Amino acid sequence: MNTILLQAQAQGGGMSFFIMIAAMIAIMYFFMIRPQQKRQKEIQKFRNSLAVGQEVITSGGVYGKISHIEDNNPVVTLEVATGVKIKVDRSCIFANAAATQEQGK
C-alpha cells in the first residue's frame, strides 16, 4: 500500500517539474530575450534613418557629425573635428549624440 502512494507521488512530481521548467523558460523569454530583440529593432531603425549633418556616437565612443553617407555601401563618413574625417561602418554607429547629451543633463 505504501509503495503505491510513493509511485503516485513520483508521477505527479514529474508533471510539476515540467510545468516549472516551462515557467522558467517563459520568464527568461519575457525578461531577457524579448527586451533585447526590441532594443535591436530600435537600433536598426535608427541606423536606417541616418542623415547628413546628424551628430552621432560610434560604438568605440567617438563623437562626430555625419558628412557623407553612401547608399549602396555601409560606409559612413564622420567629421570628428574641423577638417578631420573618418570612415566607419554603419553598424558601428550606436546612438544619437544630441539625445544622449540631453539624457545626461
The answer on pLDDT for 5 being more than 50 is no
Query: pTM to 2 decimals?
Result: 0.64
- Write the CATH number of the domain with boundaries 51-104: 2.30.30
**Domain spans of the chain?**
1-49, 51-104
- Contact at 8 Å (CB) between 54 and 67? no
Sheet arrangement for strand 63-69: 84-89, 75-81, 63-69, 55-58, 93-96
Per-residue pLDDT tens digits for 9-62: 555 567 888 899 999 999 999 899 999 999 999 988 988 888 899 999 999 999
